[in-house]
Amino acid sequence: MPSKPKLITAPDLYKFQLITDAQISPDGSKVIFSVQRVNDKTEKKYTDLWLAPTGTGKLRQFTHGNWSDSQPRWSPDGSQIAFLSNRDDETQSQIYLIPVDGGEAKALTEFKDMTIADFAWSPDGKQFLSNIRKKDADAVERDANPDKKKLGVVARHYTSLIYKADGQGYLPQEKWHIWRIDAKSGKATQLTHGDHHEGDYDWSPDGKWITYFSNTSQKPDLSPEAYELYVMPATGKDPQAEARKIETIEGFKFLPRWSPDGSQIAFGYAGEPGNWMGNVTICVVPADGSAPPQNLTKTADLHCAAGSGSDTGGGNMSPYTWSRDGRKLYFQAQRQGDICLMSVTVEDEPVVERILDEAGLIGSFTFDAKQEKLAYTWATQTHPAHLFVRDMGKANAKQLSRFNTNWLRRLDLGEIEEVWFEARDGYPLHGWILTPPGFDPAQKYPSILEIHGGPQTQYDKGMMHEFRFLAANGYVVYWSNPRGSQGYGAEHCETIRHRWGTVDLDDVLDWANFVGQKPYIDPNRKGVTGGSYGGYMTNMLIGREPDYFQAAVTQRSVFNLVSFWGTSDGNWNFQKTYGQDKPPYENLDTYWEQSPMKYIGNAKTPTLVIHSELDFRADKEQGEQLFVALRTQGVDTELVLFPGEPHGLSRSGRTDRRIMRLNHMLRWFDKYLK
């Protein structure tokens, strides 16, 4: 008899090796990239560098050890690789250099009491630019005194609204600034100063100039979108004093990239102030500021950014990349569940073209110096990202990595059906249905509706371990991109601005009704779950449709928009998406109308509440309020809190906690749906 197929499990999270940061050498002969692994005994995550030849030869591990080696970058002549590592001090990363042909990695920098975020080689390979933040003076003093260090922080004092960040905790007073580092001596020179952040920088092609964004407004915390484009000399006693502002366009901007001839600067534009719910577009402006910027992609109605919702990675964003002749830009775009690699011409009537046709997630991508070869990562719904290389003149790509292939190919993961359906008003919507391994269409199955966060994101065609795990335990799992999601045009995304829980809720219910009509769905065993905004929608559903689902799991959710205002790390800024740009004390009815708390008195659905104790995006008080409300009403409920975890537990949390989360979810659904 044939052996029974193996099913994916929660502890399989330990097996995944996740690759990122595909960096092809200038001559196109090799690709350096990062691979993350998890130690199941210490629960620590480590990152190694691997090297893959693009021609003949085998993939090989390039760095070893239980630390994190990341952000590999080729020197312009291709002779060595610079990368960040914490190998000598777990709490302090440095820039290291290693010869490509062999030899030991050596620390270039010897930073103390600083955090280095990133770096970039100068065109001549003699210097680096880096984004660095110093430690606060009182923190340095405390760390130097064992007794004071043991006692810890006495108090935190803030005058800015930007005082905490999810995943980072309470922020230091010091700001991010741009530094220049000598590539031989490691000597570092701070180029920008002041009580404001600088970041997203780029070298000019001749290495004489630096472009960057900075918010130098009088009160940056009250005008967080006021980042402006600057150009300053790369050398001099005080380059920042000679910086000149390039007039662009009002609104949040990022990722400046100089054209090959130095005449133009491209950048990403997230929309006018107060509207974060449309497309990110790409603009170009003359480097001398002689003309206003041109928006190249607005008429294409594309979201020109990348960011995967997958729990196995795969959608990392790369900088916008100019073609060698300066006639076009290459970029990633979210489109109908894909993350595509596309190009746009730099002309009066820009032409947008899709470069790679593969369905799935195009992650980091880089070209060789001649732009004859392209290296990139590609993830699908059945597999985390692999590394590929493609000759630009040919149709077929060559796969360079096969991490995770052997153990995943032995599993029955179930089958996914991609679906387009109509909402109640005839609007076309997009979703997916995952049936369990060994699926029998003649049987009736319990089902689980998954709702994504954001709402400005999309469910994409990356692999979701969570969905496969639930399906392996006998559930039909289904998900969609209702209005409010990205990847379907600006109007699709902007429809719910100041209208959370309206047409988006209708779209989710229409999707549930569509799937519920399938003959294999048991109408009396329906579950729902979601995290963040998906948790918000879950909370809305149990209050406004109390008889629809038989079980719910709400995660890192938003429950009360009134108290959410000011307690999130986004503090007052979220009023721009649902509060008509007014605080609750000026517009209480709007906040209350869109709050699940208003409707929770109707709830009957047994609901598991999951939250992280260090969630600074949706504070745990949101989950606690919901738990108390359900408990006092006699609704079956439990509260599960995860210590030490931020908002993103399900994607990037400690692996044993991710496993515990999945087991709690399964236990709850099994209890009420089986």
Q: List, for residues 381-416, the tens digit of each pLDDT value.
A: 999 999 999 999 888 899 999 999 999 999 999 999
Query: Percentages helix, strand, coil for the chain, rounded to the nearest 5?
Result: 20, 35, 45
657 and 528 together in one domain: yes
Centre a 10 Å sphere on the Cβ of residue 103 and count the other Cβ atoms it contains: 10
Cβ 33 vs Cβ 27: under 8 Å: no
In a domain, 324, yes or no: no
In a domain, 305, yes or no: no
In a domain, 366, yes or no: no
Domain boundary among 271, 295, 319: 295
In a domain, 38, yes or no: no
* CA neighbours closer than 13 Å in the CB half-sphere of residue 214: 28
Whole-angstrom distance, CA of residue 347 vs CA of residue 358: 27
> What's the pLDDT at 145?
93
Is it the case that residue 184 has pLDDT exceeding 70? Answer: yes
Confidence of residue 225 (pLDDT cuts 50, 70, 90): confident
455 and 590 together in one domain: yes
How far apart are the two ends of the chain, measured CA to CA in Å? Answer: 29
291 and 417 together in one domain: no
* Phi/psi of residue 133, nearest 5 degrees: -125, 130
> What's the pLDDT at 273?
73
**DSSP for residue 12:** G
Task: Give the chain's largest Cα–Cα span.
Answer: 79
> What's the pLDDT at 158?
95
> What's the pLDDT at 177?
97
Strands 397-399 and 383-391: antiparallel
In a domain, 652, yes or no: yes
Domain boundary among 295, 312, 328: 295
Cβ 401 vs Cβ 387: under 8 Å: yes
* Phi/psi of residue 388, nearest 5 degrees: -130, 155
Cβ-count burial 83-93 (b if 16+ within 10 Å, e if not): bbbebeeeeeb
Domain boundary among 260, 295, 330: 295
283 and 425 together in one domain: no
Across the range 83-88, mean pLDDT stands at 96
Whole-angstrom distance, CA of residue 573 vs CA of residue 583: 9
Cβ 251 vs Cβ 270: under 8 Å: yes
Whole-angstrom distance, CA of residue 655 vs CA of residue 661: 10
For residue 658 the two structure tokens come to 């991710």
Amino acid at 201: Y
- Give the CATH number of the domain where residue 453 resides: 3.40.50.1820
Confidence of residue 5 (pLDDT cuts 50, 70, 90): confident
In a domain, 62, yes or no: no
The per-residue pLDDT for range 299-330, each reduced to its tens digit, is 999 999 998 889 998 878 999 999 999 999 99
The per-residue pLDDT for range 451-491, each reduced to its tens digit, is 999 999 999 999 999 999 999 999 999 999 999 999 999 99
For residue 134 the two structure tokens come to 């110093």
Report the candidate in 231, 235, 240 with the shortest Cα–Cα distance to residue 212. Answer: 231
- Give the CATH number of the domain where residue 139 resides: 2.120.10.30
Helices 655-673 and 465-472: crossing angle, nearest 10°?
Answer: 40
602 and 472 together in one domain: yes
The per-residue pLDDT for range 52-84, each reduced to its tens digit, is 999 999 999 999 999 999 999 999 999 999 999
> Domain total for the chain?
2
In terms of residue numbers, what domain contains 230?
109-154+164-295
Whole-angstrom distance, CA of residue 162 vs CA of residue 169: 11
The per-residue pLDDT for range 14-60, each reduced to its tens digit, is 999 999 999 999 999 999 999 999 999 999 999 999 999 999 999 99
The CA-based dihedral angle spanning residues 457, 463, 468, 470, taken in that order and rounded to the nearest 10 degrees: -20
In a domain, 84, yes or no: no
Q: What is the 3-state secondary structure (H, E, C) of 213-274?
A: EECCCCCHHHCCCCCEEEEEECCCCCHHHHCEEECCCCCCEEEEEECCCCCEEEEEECCCCC
> What's the pLDDT at 319?
96
| CB contact set of 397 (below 8 Å; sequence gap of 6+) | 356, 388, 389, 390
Cβ-based burial of 605 (10 A; exposed 0-12, middle 13-18, buried ≥19): buried
431 and 287 together in one domain: no
Decide: pTM greater than 0.85.
yes
Cis peptide bond upstream of 455, omega within 30: yes
246 and 116 together in one domain: yes
The per-residue pLDDT for range 233-276, each reduced to its tens digit, is 999 989 999 999 999 999 899 999 999 999 999 999 998 776 76
> What's the pLDDT at 309?
84
In a domain, 372, yes or no: no
Q: Is the dihedral of CA 30, 34, 39, 40 positive or negative?
A: negative
